[in-house]
Chain A
Amino acid sequence: MSLYMRQVWAVVWKDALLELRTRERLVAMGAFAVLAAVLFNYSIDTAVVRPQDVAAGLVWMTIVFGGLLGIGRTFHLEAQDDALQGVLTSPAPKDAVFLGKAFANFVLLYLVSLLVLGVFTLFFGLDLGSNLGGLTLSLGLGALGFVSLGTLFSAVTAGTRMGETLLPILVFPLLVPVVIYGVGATSRLLASRPLSEVAGSLRMLAAFAVASLAVGAVLFRFVVED
Protein backbone atom coordinates (compact mmCIF):
# COMPACT_ATOMS: atom_id res chain seq x y z
CA MET A 1 0.00 0.00 0.00
CA SER A 2 1.39 3.43 -0.91
CA LEU A 3 2.01 6.05 1.78
CA TYR A 4 -0.89 8.11 0.39
CA MET A 5 -3.31 5.20 0.74
CA ARG A 6 -1.98 4.47 4.26
CA GLN A 7 -2.67 8.09 5.21
CA VAL A 8 -6.21 7.86 3.82
CA TRP A 9 -6.67 4.59 5.71
CA ALA A 10 -5.31 6.15 8.95
CA VAL A 11 -8.10 8.77 8.87
CA VAL A 12 -10.76 6.15 8.08
CA TRP A 13 -9.48 3.88 10.87
CA LYS A 14 -9.39 6.72 13.40
CA ASP A 15 -12.87 8.03 12.52
CA ALA A 16 -14.37 4.53 12.57
CA LEU A 17 -12.79 3.84 15.96
CA LEU A 18 -14.08 7.13 17.37
CA GLU A 19 -17.57 6.34 16.10
CA LEU A 20 -17.47 2.85 17.60
CA ARG A 21 -16.42 4.36 20.94
CA THR A 22 -18.89 7.23 21.06
CA ARG A 23 -21.70 5.96 18.77
CA GLU A 24 -22.63 9.62 18.78
CA ARG A 25 -23.59 9.94 15.13
CA LEU A 26 -24.75 6.41 14.38
CA VAL A 27 -27.31 6.44 17.20
CA ALA A 28 -28.65 9.89 16.23
CA MET A 29 -28.95 8.98 12.55
CA GLY A 30 -30.40 5.51 13.24
CA ALA A 31 -32.95 6.81 15.72
CA PHE A 32 -34.00 9.55 13.31
CA ALA A 33 -34.42 7.00 10.51
CA VAL A 34 -36.65 4.71 12.55
CA LEU A 35 -38.77 7.57 13.96
CA ALA A 36 -39.17 9.15 10.54
CA ALA A 37 -40.33 5.84 9.06
CA VAL A 38 -42.87 5.41 11.87
CA LEU A 39 -44.22 8.95 11.36
CA PHE A 40 -44.35 8.60 7.58
CA ASN A 41 -46.19 5.32 8.06
CA TYR A 42 -48.98 7.11 9.93
CA SER A 43 -48.98 10.14 7.65
CA ILE A 44 -50.23 8.25 4.60
CA ASP A 45 -53.90 7.50 3.98
CA THR A 46 -53.60 4.02 2.49
CA ALA A 47 -57.18 4.26 1.19
CA VAL A 48 -56.01 6.99 -1.21
CA VAL A 49 -52.29 6.36 -1.75
CA ARG A 50 -50.42 3.08 -2.04
CA PRO A 51 -47.39 3.28 0.33
CA GLN A 52 -45.20 1.61 -2.31
CA ASP A 53 -45.84 4.50 -4.69
CA VAL A 54 -44.37 7.13 -2.39
CA ALA A 55 -41.82 5.01 -0.53
CA ALA A 56 -38.81 5.90 -2.72
CA GLY A 57 -39.17 9.65 -2.10
CA LEU A 58 -39.67 9.14 1.61
CA VAL A 59 -36.65 6.80 1.83
CA TRP A 60 -34.42 9.42 0.22
CA MET A 61 -35.83 12.29 2.30
CA THR A 62 -35.13 10.28 5.45
CA ILE A 63 -31.58 9.56 4.27
CA VAL A 64 -30.93 13.21 3.41
CA PHE A 65 -32.32 14.68 6.66
CA GLY A 66 -30.99 11.92 8.89
CA GLY A 67 -27.66 11.84 7.11
CA LEU A 68 -27.06 15.50 7.67
CA LEU A 69 -27.50 14.98 11.42
CA GLY A 70 -24.37 12.86 11.43
CA ILE A 71 -22.34 14.30 8.56
CA GLY A 72 -22.72 17.79 10.07
CA ARG A 73 -20.77 16.58 13.10
CA THR A 74 -17.84 15.25 11.07
CA PHE A 75 -15.40 17.73 12.59
CA HIS A 76 -16.97 17.85 16.06
CA LEU A 77 -14.48 15.50 17.72
CA GLU A 78 -11.56 17.05 15.84
CA ALA A 79 -12.26 20.34 17.62
CA GLN A 80 -11.99 18.87 21.11
CA ASP A 81 -8.23 19.27 21.54
CA ASP A 82 -7.55 21.11 18.29
CA ALA A 83 -6.79 17.67 16.88
CA LEU A 84 -7.49 18.76 13.31
CA GLN A 85 -4.51 21.10 13.60
CA GLY A 86 -2.38 18.10 14.52
CA VAL A 87 -3.58 16.30 11.40
CA LEU A 88 -2.99 19.36 9.21
CA THR A 89 0.59 19.80 10.47
CA SER A 90 1.36 16.19 9.49
CA PRO A 91 2.76 15.34 6.03
CA ALA A 92 -0.59 13.84 4.98
CA PRO A 93 -1.83 15.77 1.93
CA LYS A 94 -5.07 17.66 2.60
CA ASP A 95 -6.86 15.68 -0.11
CA ALA A 96 -5.86 12.42 1.61
CA VAL A 97 -7.37 13.73 4.85
CA PHE A 98 -10.54 14.71 2.98
CA LEU A 99 -10.83 11.34 1.24
CA GLY A 100 -10.31 9.54 4.55
CA LYS A 101 -13.03 11.54 6.28
CA ALA A 102 -15.40 11.24 3.31
CA PHE A 103 -14.92 7.47 3.13
CA ALA A 104 -15.49 7.08 6.90
CA ASN A 105 -18.68 9.15 6.49
CA PHE A 106 -19.66 7.00 3.51
CA VAL A 107 -19.48 3.80 5.57
CA LEU A 108 -21.59 5.42 8.27
CA LEU A 109 -24.21 6.83 5.88
CA TYR A 110 -24.36 3.65 3.84
CA LEU A 111 -25.14 1.62 6.96
CA VAL A 112 -27.85 4.11 7.89
CA SER A 113 -29.23 4.02 4.31
CA LEU A 114 -29.53 0.24 4.50
CA LEU A 115 -31.25 0.60 7.86
CA VAL A 116 -33.68 3.12 6.34
CA LEU A 117 -34.44 0.73 3.47
CA GLY A 118 -34.99 -2.10 5.95
CA VAL A 119 -37.28 -0.06 8.19
CA PHE A 120 -39.37 1.21 5.26
CA THR A 121 -39.60 -2.33 3.88
CA LEU A 122 -41.05 -3.37 7.21
CA PHE A 123 -43.51 -0.50 7.65
CA PHE A 124 -44.51 0.02 4.02
CA GLY A 125 -44.55 -3.64 3.01
CA LEU A 126 -42.07 -3.09 0.16
CA ASP A 127 -41.10 -5.95 -2.09
CA LEU A 128 -37.34 -5.77 -2.62
CA GLY A 129 -37.63 -8.85 -4.83
CA SER A 130 -34.82 -9.48 -7.25
CA ASN A 131 -33.65 -5.87 -7.25
CA LEU A 132 -31.92 -5.83 -3.88
CA GLY A 133 -28.52 -5.50 -5.59
CA GLY A 134 -29.67 -2.55 -7.69
CA LEU A 135 -31.29 -0.87 -4.70
CA THR A 136 -28.19 -1.15 -2.53
CA LEU A 137 -26.10 0.09 -5.47
CA SER A 138 -28.30 3.17 -5.95
CA LEU A 139 -28.20 3.90 -2.21
CA GLY A 140 -24.42 3.47 -2.19
CA LEU A 141 -23.82 5.80 -5.13
CA GLY A 142 -26.19 8.40 -3.70
CA ALA A 143 -24.55 8.15 -0.29
CA LEU A 144 -21.10 8.67 -1.85
CA GLY A 145 -22.20 11.88 -3.59
CA PHE A 146 -23.92 13.06 -0.43
CA VAL A 147 -20.94 12.51 1.89
CA SER A 148 -18.53 14.14 -0.57
CA LEU A 149 -20.44 17.41 -0.44
CA GLY A 150 -21.47 16.96 3.19
CA THR A 151 -17.89 16.45 4.39
CA LEU A 152 -16.63 19.50 2.52
CA PHE A 153 -19.40 21.79 3.77
CA SER A 154 -19.16 20.36 7.27
CA ALA A 155 -15.55 21.63 7.27
CA VAL A 156 -16.75 25.01 5.96
CA THR A 157 -19.33 25.42 8.71
CA ALA A 158 -17.36 23.76 11.55
CA GLY A 159 -15.80 26.98 12.75
CA THR A 160 -18.88 29.15 12.35
CA ARG A 161 -21.31 30.18 15.08
CA MET A 162 -24.42 29.11 13.15
CA GLY A 163 -22.80 26.03 11.60
CA GLU A 164 -25.59 23.54 12.19
CA THR A 165 -28.16 25.93 10.72
CA LEU A 166 -25.95 26.96 7.84
CA LEU A 167 -25.03 23.44 6.72
CA PRO A 168 -28.45 22.35 5.37
CA ILE A 169 -28.90 25.71 3.66
CA LEU A 170 -25.61 25.20 1.81
CA VAL A 171 -25.89 21.47 1.12
CA PHE A 172 -29.55 20.82 0.30
CA PRO A 173 -29.61 22.75 -3.00
CA LEU A 174 -26.50 20.87 -4.15
CA LEU A 175 -28.09 17.52 -3.32
CA VAL A 176 -30.92 17.97 -5.80
CA PRO A 177 -29.25 15.72 -8.45
CA VAL A 178 -28.76 12.96 -5.85
CA VAL A 179 -32.43 13.13 -4.86
CA ILE A 180 -33.71 13.27 -8.47
CA TYR A 181 -31.66 10.34 -9.77
CA GLY A 182 -31.76 8.44 -6.47
CA VAL A 183 -35.56 8.60 -6.25
CA GLY A 184 -35.83 7.82 -9.97
CA ALA A 185 -33.76 4.66 -9.67
CA THR A 186 -35.20 3.53 -6.33
CA SER A 187 -38.87 3.96 -7.30
CA ARG A 188 -38.45 1.91 -10.47
CA LEU A 189 -36.47 -0.80 -8.72
CA LEU A 190 -39.09 -0.99 -5.96
CA ALA A 191 -41.68 -1.42 -8.73
CA SER A 192 -39.67 -4.46 -9.89
CA ARG A 193 -38.60 -2.82 -13.15
CA PRO A 194 -35.44 -4.31 -14.72
CA LEU A 195 -32.04 -2.91 -13.74
CA SER A 196 -31.42 -1.86 -17.36
CA GLU A 197 -34.25 0.67 -17.03
CA VAL A 198 -32.39 2.57 -14.30
CA ALA A 199 -28.89 2.30 -15.76
CA GLY A 200 -28.99 5.96 -16.80
CA SER A 201 -29.92 7.12 -13.29
CA LEU A 202 -27.22 4.94 -11.77
CA ARG A 203 -24.66 6.38 -14.20
CA MET A 204 -25.72 9.91 -13.24
CA LEU A 205 -25.43 9.06 -9.54
CA ALA A 206 -21.96 7.61 -10.15
CA ALA A 207 -20.86 10.66 -12.17
CA PHE A 208 -22.16 13.00 -9.48
CA ALA A 209 -20.36 11.02 -6.77
CA VAL A 210 -17.04 11.05 -8.62
CA ALA A 211 -17.30 14.75 -9.48
CA SER A 212 -18.26 15.70 -5.90
CA LEU A 213 -15.43 13.62 -4.48
CA ALA A 214 -12.91 15.25 -6.83
CA VAL A 215 -14.18 18.78 -6.16
CA GLY A 216 -14.16 18.15 -2.41
CA ALA A 217 -10.61 16.79 -2.49
CA VAL A 218 -9.38 19.84 -4.41
CA LEU A 219 -11.26 22.47 -2.37
CA PHE A 220 -10.72 21.01 1.10
CA ARG A 221 -7.28 22.57 1.52
CA PHE A 222 -8.68 26.05 0.91
CA VAL A 223 -11.30 25.46 3.57
CA VAL A 224 -8.95 24.27 6.33
CA GLU A 225 -5.86 26.40 5.69
CA ASP A 226 -5.60 29.51 7.81
Chain B
Amino acid sequence: MDRPNGSPAPVLEASGLVREYGPVVAVAGIDVSLVPGEFLTIFGPNGAGKSSLLGMLAGALRPTAGTVRIRGDAIDAGGTEWRRHVGVLSHRGFLYHQLTVHENLRFYGMLFGVPDLDHRIDARLRQVGLDRRAAVRVQALSHGMRQRLSLARALLHDPALVLLDEPYTGLDPSAAALLRDVLMELRDGHRTVVMVTHNLREGLELATRVAIQVGGRFAWEGSVEGLIRSDFERFYHEVVEERS
Protein backbone atom coordinates (compact mmCIF):
# COMPACT_ATOMS: atom_id res chain seq x y z
CA MET B 1 0.00 0.00 0.00
CA ASP B 2 1.33 3.42 -0.94
CA ARG B 3 1.14 6.59 1.11
CA PRO B 4 -1.05 9.50 -0.08
CA ASN B 5 2.04 11.25 -1.51
CA GLY B 6 2.78 8.19 -3.70
CA SER B 7 5.80 6.88 -1.80
CA PRO B 8 5.50 3.24 -0.72
CA ALA B 9 4.53 2.60 2.91
CA PRO B 10 7.38 1.27 5.04
CA VAL B 11 7.43 -2.45 5.72
CA LEU B 12 9.60 -1.89 8.77
CA GLU B 13 9.64 1.16 11.03
CA ALA B 14 11.67 1.19 14.22
CA SER B 15 12.19 4.27 16.32
CA GLY B 16 14.24 4.96 19.41
CA LEU B 17 15.16 1.32 19.94
CA VAL B 18 17.09 0.70 23.14
CA ARG B 19 18.02 -2.63 24.69
CA GLU B 20 19.76 -2.89 28.04
CA TYR B 21 21.04 -6.01 29.80
CA GLY B 22 21.37 -4.78 33.37
CA PRO B 23 24.02 -2.05 33.26
CA VAL B 24 25.11 -2.96 29.71
CA VAL B 25 23.50 -0.98 26.90
CA ALA B 26 23.54 -3.19 23.78
CA VAL B 27 21.41 -0.90 21.60
CA ALA B 28 21.41 2.76 22.45
CA GLY B 29 18.73 4.39 20.30
CA ILE B 30 18.37 3.26 16.69
CA ASP B 31 15.84 4.36 14.08
CA VAL B 32 15.19 2.34 10.92
CA SER B 33 12.60 2.73 8.18
CA LEU B 34 12.59 0.45 5.14
CA VAL B 35 10.23 0.26 2.17
CA PRO B 36 9.70 -2.76 -0.15
CA GLY B 37 12.79 -3.62 -2.18
CA GLU B 38 15.23 -2.08 0.27
CA PHE B 39 18.10 -4.24 1.48
CA LEU B 40 19.85 -2.88 4.55
CA THR B 41 23.16 -4.44 5.53
CA ILE B 42 24.40 -3.69 9.03
CA PHE B 43 28.13 -4.05 9.60
CA GLY B 44 29.83 -3.76 12.93
CA PRO B 45 32.42 -5.30 15.24
CA ASN B 46 31.61 -7.98 17.81
CA GLY B 47 29.59 -6.58 20.70
CA ALA B 48 28.16 -3.70 18.66
CA GLY B 49 24.61 -4.83 19.46
CA LYS B 50 23.72 -6.02 15.94
CA SER B 51 22.12 -9.30 17.01
CA SER B 52 20.20 -7.54 19.79
CA LEU B 53 18.87 -5.07 17.22
CA LEU B 54 17.83 -7.90 14.93
CA GLY B 55 16.25 -9.75 17.87
CA MET B 56 14.09 -6.71 18.62
CA LEU B 57 13.10 -6.30 14.96
CA ALA B 58 12.09 -9.99 14.94
CA GLY B 59 10.04 -9.61 18.12
CA ALA B 60 12.26 -12.14 19.90
CA LEU B 61 13.66 -9.54 22.29
CA ARG B 62 11.58 -6.97 24.13
CA PRO B 63 13.03 -3.46 23.67
CA THR B 64 13.87 -1.53 26.83
CA ALA B 65 12.56 1.53 24.97
CA GLY B 66 11.31 2.34 21.50
CA THR B 67 8.81 0.84 19.09
CA VAL B 68 8.86 -1.47 16.08
CA ARG B 69 6.13 -1.50 13.45
CA ILE B 70 5.80 -4.16 10.78
CA ARG B 71 3.50 -3.07 7.94
CA GLY B 72 2.04 -0.52 10.34
CA ASP B 73 1.30 -2.94 13.20
CA ALA B 74 3.12 -2.27 16.47
CA ILE B 75 4.69 -5.58 17.40
CA ASP B 76 4.18 -5.09 21.13
CA ALA B 77 0.42 -4.57 20.73
CA GLY B 78 -0.32 -8.17 21.64
CA GLY B 79 -1.33 -9.67 18.27
CA THR B 80 0.73 -12.17 16.34
CA GLU B 81 -0.55 -11.45 12.83
CA TRP B 82 2.50 -9.28 12.00
CA ARG B 83 4.75 -12.33 12.48
CA ARG B 84 3.25 -13.77 9.29
CA HIS B 85 5.16 -11.04 7.39
CA VAL B 86 8.55 -11.73 8.97
CA GLY B 87 11.10 -14.44 8.17
CA VAL B 88 14.11 -14.90 10.45
CA LEU B 89 17.37 -16.61 9.58
CA SER B 90 19.63 -16.71 12.60
CA HIS B 91 23.07 -18.25 13.00
CA ARG B 92 21.11 -20.86 14.99
CA GLY B 93 18.98 -22.86 12.58
CA PHE B 94 15.78 -23.31 14.66
CA LEU B 95 15.72 -26.89 13.34
CA TYR B 96 14.83 -30.20 14.95
CA HIS B 97 17.69 -32.55 14.23
CA GLN B 98 15.68 -35.76 14.70
CA LEU B 99 13.07 -34.68 12.14
CA THR B 100 13.57 -34.89 8.40
CA VAL B 101 14.03 -31.89 6.12
CA HIS B 102 10.41 -32.15 4.96
CA GLU B 103 9.04 -32.63 8.50
CA ASN B 104 10.83 -29.52 9.75
CA LEU B 105 9.28 -27.43 6.98
CA ARG B 106 5.89 -29.05 7.52
CA PHE B 107 5.97 -28.14 11.21
CA TYR B 108 6.86 -24.50 10.59
CA GLY B 109 4.40 -24.32 7.70
CA MET B 110 1.62 -25.48 10.03
CA LEU B 111 2.58 -22.86 12.62
CA PHE B 112 2.52 -20.10 9.99
CA GLY B 113 -0.73 -21.39 8.46
CA VAL B 114 0.86 -21.70 5.00
CA PRO B 115 -1.74 -22.69 2.39
CA ASP B 116 -1.03 -25.47 -0.10
CA LEU B 117 1.82 -26.53 2.16
CA ASP B 118 3.20 -29.57 0.32
CA HIS B 119 3.48 -27.63 -2.92
CA ARG B 120 5.18 -24.71 -1.13
CA ILE B 121 7.63 -27.03 0.64
CA ASP B 122 8.61 -28.67 -2.66
CA ALA B 123 9.16 -25.27 -4.28
CA ARG B 124 11.35 -24.00 -1.43
CA LEU B 125 13.39 -27.19 -1.32
CA ARG B 126 14.04 -26.90 -5.06
CA GLN B 127 15.02 -23.26 -4.58
CA VAL B 128 17.69 -24.14 -2.00
CA GLY B 129 18.80 -27.33 -3.74
CA LEU B 130 17.56 -29.77 -1.10
CA ASP B 131 14.69 -31.34 -3.03
CA ARG B 132 16.46 -34.71 -3.19
CA ARG B 133 17.10 -34.71 0.56
CA ALA B 134 13.54 -34.12 1.74
CA ALA B 135 13.43 -37.46 3.58
CA VAL B 136 16.85 -37.07 5.23
CA ARG B 137 17.03 -36.28 8.94
CA VAL B 138 18.63 -32.94 9.75
CA GLN B 139 21.25 -34.59 11.96
CA ALA B 140 22.67 -36.22 8.81
CA LEU B 141 23.08 -32.91 6.96
CA SER B 142 26.26 -30.84 6.76
CA HIS B 143 26.35 -27.34 8.27
CA GLY B 144 25.92 -25.77 4.84
CA MET B 145 22.88 -27.90 4.06
CA ARG B 146 21.33 -27.07 7.42
CA GLN B 147 21.84 -23.40 6.65
CA ARG B 148 20.08 -23.88 3.31
CA LEU B 149 17.22 -25.62 5.09
CA SER B 150 17.03 -22.76 7.58
CA LEU B 151 16.77 -20.38 4.65
CA ALA B 152 13.91 -22.45 3.20
CA ARG B 153 12.25 -22.36 6.62
CA ALA B 154 12.63 -18.58 6.89
CA LEU B 155 11.13 -18.05 3.40
CA LEU B 156 8.46 -20.78 3.51
CA HIS B 157 5.62 -18.38 4.30
CA ASP B 158 6.76 -15.83 1.70
CA PRO B 159 7.49 -13.01 4.19
CA ALA B 160 7.58 -9.35 3.22
CA LEU B 161 10.46 -8.72 5.63
CA VAL B 162 13.45 -11.04 5.96
CA LEU B 163 15.91 -10.68 8.86
CA LEU B 164 19.28 -12.37 8.49
CA ASP B 165 21.89 -12.73 11.23
CA GLU B 166 25.32 -13.68 9.86
CA PRO B 167 23.86 -15.96 7.17
CA TYR B 168 27.24 -16.62 5.50
CA THR B 169 28.88 -18.10 8.60
CA GLY B 170 30.38 -21.52 7.86
CA LEU B 171 29.10 -21.76 4.28
CA ASP B 172 31.27 -23.24 1.53
CA PRO B 173 31.57 -21.19 -1.72
CA SER B 174 28.75 -23.01 -3.53
CA ALA B 175 26.36 -22.67 -0.60
CA ALA B 176 27.33 -18.99 -0.29
CA ALA B 177 26.66 -18.48 -4.00
CA LEU B 178 23.25 -20.12 -3.65
CA LEU B 179 22.41 -17.92 -0.67
CA ARG B 180 23.48 -14.84 -2.63
CA ASP B 181 21.21 -15.83 -5.55
CA VAL B 182 18.22 -16.33 -3.23
CA LEU B 183 18.83 -13.00 -1.50
CA MET B 184 19.10 -11.23 -4.87
CA GLU B 185 15.78 -12.79 -5.87
CA LEU B 186 14.26 -11.42 -2.68
CA ARG B 187 15.60 -7.93 -3.24
CA ASP B 188 14.54 -7.89 -6.89
CA GLY B 189 11.15 -9.28 -5.90
CA HIS B 190 10.55 -6.20 -3.71
CA ARG B 191 11.03 -7.98 -0.43
CA THR B 192 12.60 -5.99 2.38
CA VAL B 193 15.76 -7.43 3.87
CA VAL B 194 17.87 -6.56 6.90
CA MET B 195 21.15 -8.45 7.09
CA VAL B 196 23.73 -8.35 9.85
CA THR B 197 27.16 -9.55 8.72
CA HIS B 198 30.92 -9.21 9.10
CA ASN B 199 31.36 -10.10 5.44
CA LEU B 200 31.96 -6.73 3.74
CA ARG B 201 32.09 -8.15 0.21
CA GLU B 202 28.80 -10.08 0.38
CA GLY B 203 27.13 -7.39 2.43
CA LEU B 204 27.94 -4.60 0.00
CA GLU B 205 27.12 -6.59 -3.10
CA LEU B 206 23.51 -7.11 -2.13
CA ALA B 207 22.68 -3.99 -0.16
CA THR B 208 20.79 -0.92 -1.27
CA ARG B 209 21.60 0.72 2.08
CA VAL B 210 24.40 0.19 4.53
CA ALA B 211 24.85 1.02 8.21
CA ILE B 212 27.85 0.70 10.48
CA GLN B 213 26.84 -0.09 14.05
CA VAL B 214 29.29 0.63 16.85
CA GLY B 215 28.57 0.78 20.56
CA GLY B 216 24.84 0.22 20.08
CA ARG B 217 24.36 3.11 17.62
CA PHE B 218 24.49 3.60 13.88
CA ALA B 219 27.81 5.42 13.54
CA TRP B 220 27.16 5.83 9.82
CA GLU B 221 24.26 5.04 7.50
CA GLY B 222 23.75 5.69 3.81
CA SER B 223 22.97 4.45 0.32
CA VAL B 224 25.40 2.12 -1.49
CA GLU B 225 25.14 4.21 -4.64
CA GLY B 226 28.60 5.43 -5.55
CA LEU B 227 30.28 3.42 -2.81
CA ILE B 228 33.57 1.86 -3.83
CA ARG B 229 34.32 -1.30 -1.89
CA SER B 230 37.98 -0.63 -1.12
CA ASP B 231 37.17 2.90 0.03
CA PHE B 232 34.30 1.60 2.15
CA GLU B 233 36.50 -1.02 3.80
CA ARG B 234 39.00 1.69 4.79
CA PHE B 235 36.18 3.96 5.93
CA TYR B 236 34.60 1.11 7.95
CA HIS B 237 37.83 0.42 9.83
CA GLU B 238 38.31 4.13 10.53
CA VAL B 239 34.77 4.48 11.90
CA VAL B 240 35.07 1.37 14.07
CA GLU B 241 38.45 2.47 15.47
CA GLU B 242 37.25 5.99 16.14
CA ARG B 243 33.99 4.95 17.89
CA SER B 244 35.16 1.83 19.76
Question: A-side interface residues toward B, CB under 8 Å?
Answer: 3, 6-7, 9-11, 13-14, 17-18, 21-22, 77, 80-83, 85-93, 225-226
Contacts and interface: CB of A to CB of B under 8 A. Distances in A.
Size bin of chain B's contact surface: 20 to 34
Interface in B83-108: 83-84, 86, 88, 90, 92-99, 103, 107-108
Given A10-B110, A81-B95, A86-B108, 6 more contacts: A6-B110, A21-B98, A89-B86, A90-B111, A91-B111, A91-B113
Contact of A226 (B61, B80, B98, B108): B61
21 contacts: A10-B111, A13-B110, A14-B96, A14-B103, A17-B99, A81-B93, A81-B97, A82-B90, A82-B94, A83-B94, A83-B95, A86-B108, A88-B60, A91-B80, A91-B111, A91-B112, A92-B80, A93-B80, A226-B55, A226-B60, A226-B61
Contact of A86 (B84, B86, B94, B113): B94
Contacts of A21: 98-99
Contacts of A92: 80, 111
A21 B110 CA distance: 20
B92 A81 contact: yes
Interface in B136-180: 153
Interface string B32-72: 00000000000000000000000100111110000000000
A108 to B, nearest CB: 16
A62 B147 CA distance: 43
A125 to B, nearest CB: 40
B81 interface: yes
B210 to A, nearest CB: 25
Interface of B: 55, 58-62, 80-81, 83-84, 86, 88, 90, 92-99, 103, 107-108, 110-113, 153
A7 B111 contact: yes
Most B-side CB within 10 Å, residue of A18, A83, A226: A83
Contacts of B62: 225-226
A18 B96 contact: yes
B92 to A, nearest CB: 4
A8 to B, nearest CB: 10
Nearest to A24: B98
Contacts of A83: 94-96
Contacts of B58: 89
